[in-house]
A and B are shown apart, each in its own frame.
Chain A
Amino acid sequence: KQEVTQIPAALSVPEGENLVLNCSFTDSAIYNLQWFRQDPGKGLTSLLLIQSSQREQTSGRLNASLDKSSGRSTLYIAASQPGDSATYLCAVRRGGTALIFGKGTTLSVSS
């Protein structure tokens, strides 16, 4: 059974810092991995999708990497801003199934 773990569970940083969020999964037979952002009480906003054949994806200040063989992904956020404060979820997908989510990392960026 696929399990997804995110470390740390919570993170507080001052504005301007670069930071890394970690995601690990137990079964490397995945189609893709998707990173989401969730603001309190809101739905999920897709940030980046990495297919199993890819190593990384970038969007603005965000960079996500994937090492499928070791079952790991990282989300790098450059020059963090207070508006980045949210819960970040990673989710993996296998064929014929929907996403399996980690428990998330709650990020707080102070000004």
Chain B
Amino acid sequence: DTEVTQTPKHLVMGMTNKKSLKCEQHMGHRAMYWYKQKAKKPPELMFVYSYEKLSINESVPSRFSPECPNSSLLNLHLHALQPEDSALYLCASSQGQGMSPLHFGNGTRLTVT
């Protein structure tokens, strides 16, 4: 069982919808990440939060809006997405941004219609 929990597991949304992906960890980790993975491709970094502050934004379009309400929670707010945004969205956490390993959740499979 993964120690990083993502909800929902699956999400289908229209291009005009607003939805949110949620991620939770209780390992006391202070860094949290969002990755996007298209089929048969490696995960690509989207955002990094360190001590609840956004530290890296990999030039992600503004229709993706991350939020870190506290050290255990990470949200990804979605609005006006495109069909090409359909992918597996993975959340990860680590003790810090240095030498500690990343722990991944099982992901949210997003389909934009």
Contacts and interface: CB of A to CB of B under 8 A. Distances in A.
Contact of B104 (A43, A49, A100, A104): A43
Interface residues of A, number: 25
A32 B99 contact: yes
Contacts of A95: 97-98
Interface stretch (B11-19, B67-75, B77-85, B105-113): B105-113
Contacts of B106: 42-43
A99 B45 contact: yes
A42 B107 contact: yes
Interface residues of B, number: 26
A20 to B, nearest CB: 20
Contact of A43 (B2, B33, B55): B2
A34 B102 contact: yes
Nearest to A46: B101
Nearest to B33: A98
B2 A49 contact: no
Given A98-B33, A98-B48, A43 B42 contact: no
Nearest to A48: B101
A103 B43 contact: no
Contact of B90 (A44, A51, A104): A44
B21 interface: no
Interface in A26-49: 31-32, 34, 36, 41-46, 49
B42 A46 contact: no
13 contacts: A42-B106, A43-B6, A43-B105, A43-B106, A44-B104, A46-B104, A89-B42, A96-B55, A98-B33, A98-B48, A99-B43, A100-B45, A104-B42
